[in-house]
Structure 1
């Protein structure tokens, strides 16, 4: 393979940052204002967003440092170097379980929300299955091409979100955000925990650093990738509280979509802006699901390299769909989301950080 061809298959620091931003802006952006308003009970939830964002940046920086020590190597390969192959097999299998669960959560969320706001008479099972089939098609293709879709989709999503916020400015009421700084530190920490799911996604740096032109820039990519959702979450929360108030926001299942429903474009050109917003937002969820499923396949292929990627996709998809259909109602669905978050904290946050500490103490680093 020529150097030019290899360079074309690599991604830059900015591209990785956009990938991280795209995978982070998922289902959590629609629900976090409700859980945050419930935890803090006030406008002060923005402080929880800051705390959670800083923690995410710190953890992401550590994960990027780990992956950068072993450029061009998969998670399984550098885990084997640090902690032996048996432990690497266990850790990689746990990562695969986590990523599969995350895909199940995302496609079920698509089914629930699409049925509620777009396809009233379509069974949620069919909506979820249709979306999963599209994700399958994306994953079996080129990995770099799939990642480059974020360069096309993310700007569109951000522009639509900016338009929604712009036209809700006139509905913003100062009284809804008063009093300031009325929450105690326990409430703020609880809010930070609740908003943690919304920052999930930056851990893809563990698996895609090997595709970067300069793996040492992974830490900058994480900072760039998290800064976009950080600013977006801050703005959305402020507008949700300013328009609805904290008391009302706690009773809204999807406050961000409800915010889009309040938009009235002059001239009545668009009657239902929330449908347009949701349709555009599906682009981000599509990329998120595709990347998580691709990471699952990538990790399995690194352990069992004789199995073709398409075979793994066909094997995993029925399992993902079955798990996605397990929650019977919204309470079960949000409980499932919390369980996935806690499992992910242990598997893709704590374990890799422990691997980094071991690698530093032992002086282990790739020869490349």
Structure 2
């Protein structure tokens, strides 16, 4: 393969940042104002957004440094170098379980929300299955082409979000946000923990750094990618409290969608803005699911390199669908989501940081 052809198949720092922003802005952004308002009980929750965002940037920076030490090697390959092959097999297999669970959560979320706001009479099982089939088709194709979809979809999502917030400014009540700075530090830390669950996704830097033109710029890509969700989360939370108040926001299942329902565009051109908003939002959740499933396939292929990608996609999809259908109600669903995130914090945050520490102590590096 020529250097020119290889360069065309690699992605830039800015592109990686957009991928990280896209995978982070998933289902969590639709629900986090409720959890954050419940934890802080005040407008001050934006401080928790900043604190957890800075923590996510720090962890992401460490993960990027680990991947950059082994610029053209997969997670399984550099884990083998650092901690031996048996440990690498176990760790990579657990990562595959984590990413599969995340796909299950995302497609079930699509099923739940689409049934509530768009397809009232369609069974959630059919909505979820249809979405999974589309994700399958995306992952079986070119990996770089799939990642480049984020360049197309994310700006559209951000523009729609900006329009929604613009038209809700007239509903913003300053009395809903007073008094300022009324939360104690314990509430703010609890809020940081809660909203921190919505930052999951930046760990893709562990697996996609090998596709970057300049892997050493991975840390900058993480900072760029997380800055977009931090600003967006702050703005959405401020508007959710300003429009609904903290007391009301704690009782809304999807406060961000409810915010879109409050929009009234002059002239009555759109009467159900939340349907348009959610339809557009499906694009970023689609990219999120596609990347998580692709990472699962990427890790399995690195362990068993003689098995084709199509085989893995077809084998994994029934298992993903079965797990997605396990939660029987919203309480089970949100408990399922929290358990996945806590599992991920240990597996893809703590373990890679330990691997980085071992690699630094041993002086282990990869090759270009």
Normalised TM-score (structure 1): 1.00
Tell me, in whole angstroms, the C-alpha distance in 1 between the residues paired with 2:48 and 2:329.
28
Deviation at 1:367, TM superposition (A): 3.1
SS at match of 1:216: helix
182-191 vs 144-153, greater mean Cα deviation = 182-191
Tell me, in whole angstroms, the C-alpha distance in 2 between the residues paired with 1:44 and 1:279.
31
Deviation at 1:16, TM superposition (A): 0.2
SS at match of 1:270: coil
**Is structure 2 residue 108 aligned with structure 1 residue 108?**
yes
Task: Check whether the contact 2:11–2:212 (CA below 8 A) recurs between aligned residues.
Answer: yes
The CA deviation string for residues 309-368 of structure 1, in whole angstroms up to 9 with x for no partner, is 000000000000000000000000000000001000000000000000000000000133
Deviation at 1:186, TM superposition (A): 1.0
Task: Report how many aligned residue pairs link the two structures.
Answer: 368
In structure 2, the gaps of 5 or more residues are: none
Deviation at 1:196, TM superposition (A): 1.4
In structure 1, the gaps of 5 or more residues are: none
Tell me, in whole angstroms, the C-alpha distance in 1 between the residues paired with 2:344 and 2:5.
35
SS at match of 1:168: helix
The CA deviation string for residues 198-243 of structure 1, in whole angstroms up to 9 with x for no partner, is 1000000000000000000000000000000110000000000000
What is residue 58 of structure 2 aligned with on the other side? 58
Deviation at 1:193, TM superposition (A): 0.9
Q: Which runs of 4+ in 1 moved over 4 A?
A: none
The CA deviation string for residues 217-271 of structure 1, in whole angstroms up to 9 with x for no partner, is 0000000000001100000000000000000000000000000000000000001
The CA deviation string for residues 274-318 of structure 1, in whole angstroms up to 9 with x for no partner, is 000000000000000000000000000000011100000000000
Kindly report the root-mean-square deviation, in angstroms, between the aligned alpha carbons of the 2 structures: 0.4
Tell me, in whole angstroms, the C-alpha distance in 1 between the residues paired with 2:223 and 2:208.
15
Tell me, in whole angstroms, the C-alpha distance in 2 between the residues paired with 1:366 and 1:235.
41
Normalised TM-score (structure 2): 1.00
Matches for 1:326-365 after TM superposition, within 5 Å: 326-365=326-365
Tell me, in whole angstroms, the C-alpha distance in 1 between the residues paired with 2:184 and 2:86.
46
The CA deviation string for residues 160-210 of structure 1, in whole angstroms up to 9 with x for no partner, is 000000000000000000111111111111111111121000000000000
The CA deviation string for residues 20-66 of structure 1, in whole angstroms up to 9 with x for no partner, is 00000000000000000000000010011011100000000000000
Task: Check whether the contact 2:13–2:214 (CA below 8 A) recurs between aligned residues.
Answer: yes
What is residue 181 of structure 1 aligned with on the other side? 181
Tell me, in whole angstroms, the C-alpha distance in 2 between the residues paired with 1:86 and 1:44.
47
Task: Check whether the contact 2:71–2:367 (CA below 8 A) recurs between aligned residues.
Answer: no
